[in-house]
A and B are shown apart, each in its own frame.
Chain A
Amino acid sequence: MILLLLIALLMLGGLIAWVSERAGSNWPRWVTLGTTFVGLCAIGVDTVPHLIGHVELPSNPWLREYSVPWIPRFGIGLHLAMDGLGFLLIGLTLVLGMVAVIASWTDITTGIGFFHFNLLWVLAGIVGVFVAMDLFLFFVFWELMLVPMYLLISLWGHERRSYAATKFFLFTQAGGLLMLISILALSVVHYRQTGIATFDYSALLGTSLPPETEFWLMLGFFAAFAVKLPVVPLHPWLPDAHTEAPTGGSIILAGVLLKTGAYGLLRFAIPLFPNASETFAIVAMTLGVVGILYGALLAFAQTDFKRLVAYSSVAHLGFVLLGVYAGNLHARQGAIMAMVAHGLSTGALFMIAGLLQERLHTRDLRRMGGLWPVVPKLSGVTLVFSMASLGIPGLANFIGEFLVLLGTYRVNIPLAILATIGVVGAALYSLILIQRAFHGENTEGWKVPDLGAAQFATLGAMILLSLTLGLYPQPLLNASRPAIARIQTWGSQTDTQDTPAALEHEASDLATPAPSGR
């Protein structure tokens, strides 16, 4: 029930935020902030006690579940359920939602009510994606988060907003519709086998498919998630959308919207089509490594602050893809860690980009330079997050990427080595960002105010969060473990049993053997 209430709360909050614009321009902001905060507290208070102390696999996979029929004619139900993985991502969504409001506080000056309405509806759609356990419902939420995001980009974006927004919508929609065919085809196959029309996730899990059908259906799902993630040949929408979106939009887009792709792979593409996914894994892993290298290379070449961060996302999400398809517990745990860490660090970097643009009215790194003495606080914070982005130990990103590399190494050594080279690339683009923006001559003679108190507090809190997860990742790994352990693993059979002794210190909990099957 709480899941339904959470989504309803966000939607209702959106409507109130829109209407409350009449009361004053700050009202929508406070309403949005309050709504996300209440949502976060509610779901946190409700769920966290359950997460603590559950070390063994509970028989019921879900922490919270809610199910009522919706369109019984086709076996479509309003089936919402949340496990540890869902909880983490919902938490990330709501936290970044609040960050987005604060980042847009001074950025958005026109149509404030409608902006926050769209913001909350994007969040509602994303939360819906993370909890929908009916494939039809999942698709509804999948599409639902697109429209407000499209509006955010096309109405409040920067110079080439129409182009970027349309590109974003078309790419994701094309992928989404391929997934729709796959969803419906899966249901039809299931109906022919059992005579039961259903879209329920747990019911469809057991569908046995002929290998060729399974492969094509898997590809439909993969297409949708790969566009969202993005996987390299399907990524062209990302740099444009991220660059042109308003600050708040970029934060949500990079911070959580991309994660829906990885979540979809973990939740749907692999468990529904385990055999096809295993066959396909090597292709996906290669694409992941290509993404890491390509993203790093292009990020290095950018002169636009936001574009640089956008391409760095391509590289980071390459790690996630690699981890998801490496097929063992460590890599997948790492992928989830990398998702959360990337959400925090990239969200913060986009917020910084917005703050800089607000002050300098440019995102061009060639015109920046020498900003450190001008805005010392902002520069310091940026440094921390670029260090996070390059994967320095002690911050969350390191844990994620390390675990992914560890897991990959056990499956495919050449790919692991290539991916590690990508980490060097990350150091390059992160450092060049700092160097170009904050070091050197202040050729343009910038004199701008430093961070405000609220902004500093927000970024500081994000640093703290990232640091906590980097130094003590165990709670997060524990929370996601039951969900991950249920997903089929592959690779050599002994992988999950023979854990190298060295690893026991790193994450003793990880070594629990995954149960076979679902």
Chain B
Amino acid sequence: MIMTLNDIIALLPALILAAGALVIMLLAAWNRPHGMVNRTVATVQALALGGVLLASNVIPRQATALFLVDEFALFYIALILLGGVLVTILSHGYLDGQLDRHNEYYALLLLASLGGVVLAMSVHGASLFLGLELLSVSLYTLLSYAREDPRALEAGIKYLLLSAVASAFLLLGLALLYFLTGELIFSALRPPLADDGPSRAVCLAGLALILTGIGFKLAVVPFHMWAPDVYQGAPTPVAAFVATISKIAVVALLLRALFHMGALNDKAVTDALSVLAVASMFAGNMLALLQDNVKRLLAYSSIAHLGYLLVAVIAGGALGAEAVGFYVAAYLVTMLGIFGVLTLLSKPYVEAERVEDLRGLLWRDPPAGAIWVIAVLSLAGVPLTAGFVIKFYVVVAGLSSDRWLLVLFFVLNSVIGLFYYLNLIRVALARDSESSDGQRQALAPRWTWSDGVVMATLILAIVWLGVYPIPFIDLIEHTTAVLVAAD
């Protein structure tokens, strides 16, 4: 297949990231100072964002059989890159002066983002696997980057082993589908899925195996076991990456696959997804109630949130796809806001992770405290924050497709979730700091101007999406139109 210039322009975001990763590795030969590397990486991702703009002129474009670059893909790519830039900048303060090795961290970060970008564009089994593995392999190392910390090693190993198992499931599923149709393009599965014979059974078995692999990445129940340990052990910025970017990329892929296969019209598929959604909501929220470690709590909270998100996925149609788009964007800024505060408080080997570490944050450091409170309120879904519009969207999408029971479970779980979100807020607002031990002193946020800009952006985004979401909604409606047309 011959690639034209337009194909290359369409793939520009991915190409820039790949080239950037190479540049960073080469820079390592000179052992450049940390600040320089950090800025380069942020610039590379910003350039890739610029690439998105360029690519938007040539879409929709099928670049080789593997990738489809359209509005939908570019929207998710933009989110991934935006998240990548923010995580990169936050990583600087976290890593600075603590570890003597930085270049590899940033190169891996770029590669992981690249994996996410590949996933968002992929319409083919091979690119799906490629993207997932790029993402996972980079994350194994990133998760245990603070390698002297046994918990970080545990996190890395755990992710490695379970991820390998999930990949095996995924491959087997892809093999089954290939056996059935002789093709790996998602849309090739339409006929066997609509069929009523044995081929449907094979097809569903294949899809179930693939869903296992994807469910692992999304950490939906029952494939969620790794999440709390990994979140807890990982360096905070990496945990933020796992919680947001890697999930958003997989959500993009899931949505793409479901729509291209027309699988959302299939009752067996939606039933399976419903089971995952309900199990994730309940297990995530119930287990989050028991946590006194913020990072573990956030892990369970994100499990619950993925359950909510699946409700929007199951709802399907134009409204469902739109709801998912808004959901991931709002979830991105909210989660990054929360992890951003934790990152500001943490450094390698000294993580702010006990709920107690946050006691009285609003009074110790008003900006960090205010950001924390607003972000948690958004996660809890209080009006005038992005999280509320999410809630609205999920309920509207669910009701429009007459999924009353799912909506009811969703609402019930939002109430359960409030228990621990309120606790996080109350702790940050508490005045009495009865036990001011030595470690608490060490956990004062350290602000740099770039951190300030990042956090201010996140908070503005949270409030803007909550107060005046309409321009963004219009954008999402526009980007999901192509996807819905493929259904």
Question: A interface vs B, CB < 8 Å?
Answer: 70-74, 110-111, 136, 139-141, 143-144, 146-147, 150-151, 154-155, 162, 165-166, 169-170, 173-174, 177-178, 180-181, 184-185, 187-188
Please determine whether A184 and B392 come into contact, CB atoms closer than 8 angstroms: yes
Determine which of A71, A169, A185 lies in contact with B422 in the assembled complex, contact meaning CB atoms within 8 Å: A169
Could you tell me if B396 and A139 are in contact, using CB atoms closer than 8 angstroms?
A: no
Evaluate contact between A177 and B415: CB separation under 8 angstroms.
yes
| A169-B418 contact given A181-B399, A184-B395, CB 8 Å threshold | yes
In the complex formed, the residue of B with least CB distance to A74 is B396
Contact between chains at A143 and B399 (CB < 8 Å): no
Q: Mark B399-423, 1 if CB is under 8 A from A, else 0.
A: 1100000011001001100110010
B contact patch SS: helix
Tell me whether B473 and A143 are in contact (CB under 8 A).
Answer: no
Please determine whether B419 and A71 come into contact, CB atoms closer than 8 angstroms.
no
Asked if B414 and A185 make an inter-chain contact with CB atoms under 8 angstroms apart, the answer reads no
Residue of B nearest to A151 (CB): B429
With A166-B422, A181-B407 given, is the CB distance from A147 to B377 under 8 Å? yes
Contact partners of A188 in chain B: CB under 8 A: 396, 399-400
A residues less than 8 Å from B431 (CB atoms): 110-111, 155
Contacts of B418 in A (CB 8 A): 169-170, 173
- The CA-CA distance from A354 to B107 in the complex, in Å, is 62
Complex CA–CA separation, A174 to B414 (angstroms): 8
Contact across chains for A144 and B383 when beta carbons are under 8 A apart: yes
Q: Are B470 and A177 in contact (CB under 8 A)?
A: no
Quick one: which of B400, B430, B477 contacts A73, CB cutoff 8 A? B477
Q: Are B429 and A185 in contact (CB under 8 A)?
A: no
19 A-B interface contacts by CB (under 8 A): A70-B468, A71-B470, A73-B474, A111-B431, A140-B383, A144-B384, A150-B422, A154-B429, A165-B426, A166-B422, A169-B418, A169-B422, A170-B419, A177-B415, A180-B391, A180-B392, A181-B407, A188-B396, A188-B399
Q: Per-residue 0/1 for B454-471: is the Cβ within 8 Å of any A Cβ (1 yes, 0 no)?
A: 000000000000001110
Cross-chain contact A181 with B411 (CB below 8 angstroms): yes
Q: How far is A170 from B414 in the complex, measured between Cα atoms in Å? A: 10
- CB neighbours (8 Å) of A177 from chain B are 411, 414-415
Instruction: Report Cα–Cα, A474/B415, bound state, in Å.
Output: 44
Q: Is the interface of A mostly helix, strand, loop or mixed?
A: helix
Is there contact, CB below 8 Å, between B399 and A139? no
Residue B223 is within 8 A (CB to CB) of chain A in the complex: no
- A141 proximity list for chain B (CB < 8 A): 383
* B407–A154 touching, CB < 8 Å: no
Are A170 and B470 in contact, CB atoms less than 8 angstroms apart?
no
Bound-state CA distance A140–B383 (Å) is: 5
**Contact yes or no, B408 A181, CB < 8 A:** yes
| A140 touching B384, Cβ below 8 Å | yes
CA distance A162 to B392 in the complex (A): 28
CB distance from B125 to the nearest CB of A (A): 36
**Contact A170/B415 with A72-B470, A144-B383 known, Cβ cut-off 8 Å:** yes
| B388 in the interface (beta carbon within 8 A) | yes
A180–B411 touching, CB < 8 Å = yes
Question: What residues of B have a CB within 8 angstroms of the CB of A150 in the complex?
Answer: 422
| A169 surroundings in chain B (CB, below 8 A) | 418, 422
For B392, the chain A residues whose CB sits under 8 A away are 136, 180, 184
Within 8 A of A (CB), among B84-141: none
CA distance A169 to B421 in the complex (A): 11
Contact: A143 with B415, CB < 8 Å? no
- Is the pair B470, A70 in contact by a Cβ cutoff of 8 Å? yes
Does any Cβ of A come within 8 Å of B382's Cβ? yes
Task: A188 to B392: give the CA distance in the assembly, Å.
Answer: 13
Q: Is A143 within 8 A of B383, CB to CB?
A: yes
Q: Nearest chain B CB to A311's CB is how many angstroms away?
A: 26
The CA of A187 and the CA of B377, in the complex, are separated in Å by 26
Contact of A166 among B383, B419, B430, B469 (CB under 8 A): B419
A136 vs B384: C-alpha distance when bound (angstroms) = 12
Query: Is the Cβ of A154 less than 8 Å from the Cβ of B426?
Result: yes
Alpha-carbon distance A71/B384, docked complex (angstroms): 13
Of B388, B426, B468, most buried by chain A (CB within 10 Å of CB) is B426
Q: List residues of chain A with CB within 8 A of the CB of B426.
A: 154, 162, 165
Q: How many angstroms between the C-alpha atoms of A150 and B469 in the bound complex?
A: 26
Kindly report which residue of chain B lies nearest to residue A180, judged by CB atoms: B395
Give Cα A30 to B338, complex, Å: 35
What's the Cα separation between A508 and B271 when bound, in Å? 63
Give Cα A180–Cα B399 distance, bound, in whole angstroms.
11
Q: How far is the CB of A460 from chain B (nearest CB, A)?
A: 35
B430's nearest neighbour on chain A, judged by CB, is A155
Please, how many angstroms separate the alpha-carbon atoms of A141 and B383 in the complex? 8
Contact with A along B464-487 (1 / 0, CB 8 A): 000011100110010000000000
